[in-house]
Amino acid sequence: MCSKSKIKYLIFSFSLLLICIGVLFFSILSMKWFYNLSFRLWNETDYNMEQLDLIAKQFAKYFSFRTNSLQVEIDGMGIFSNQAIIHMKDVRDVVFIALMLLVILIGLAIFMFVLIYKERTKYNIYKQLLKSGVIAVIVMIIFC
């Protein structure tokens, strides 16, 4: 296999790996259990578990772009300061940029797949997909 083909396979494999990591990252960000787990591990507040569950639900909605407000009212009062809300808006903007980069990466992977497929080399693309998948699963196991 020529070096150009190897580079295409390498880019394709690496992009698949990053896509798997990105999908895992964005999935975790939008799941309430992640925030509940964090609250249970590092709970240094006076809120009870029901209130923390409400806060976790709002975080999950906020980072999955289903709501524009992070503010949670408990006993008729907002719990986050304006500074915290502004900070979390900045964090959400970074998450949005990362999501757009993931979309671009998916496009790159599709483009590389098409280039590899058009080449029709003797190299079995399914073997490469299998290798990429195994590597992605190993990385997900390590990060989970």
pLDDT tens, 86-119?
999 999 999 999 999 999 999 888 888 887 777 7
The yes-or-no verdict on residue 75 having pLDDT over 80 is yes
Global pTM?
0.72
Q: Which residues pair with 77 in a beta bridge?
A: 74
Cα–Cα distances in angstroms (integers) from residue 81 to residues 71, 87, 119, in the given order: 9, 10, 57
Where is pLDDT greater, at 96 or 10?
Answer: 96
Query: Do the beta carbons of residue 101 and residue 19 sit within 8 Å?
Result: no
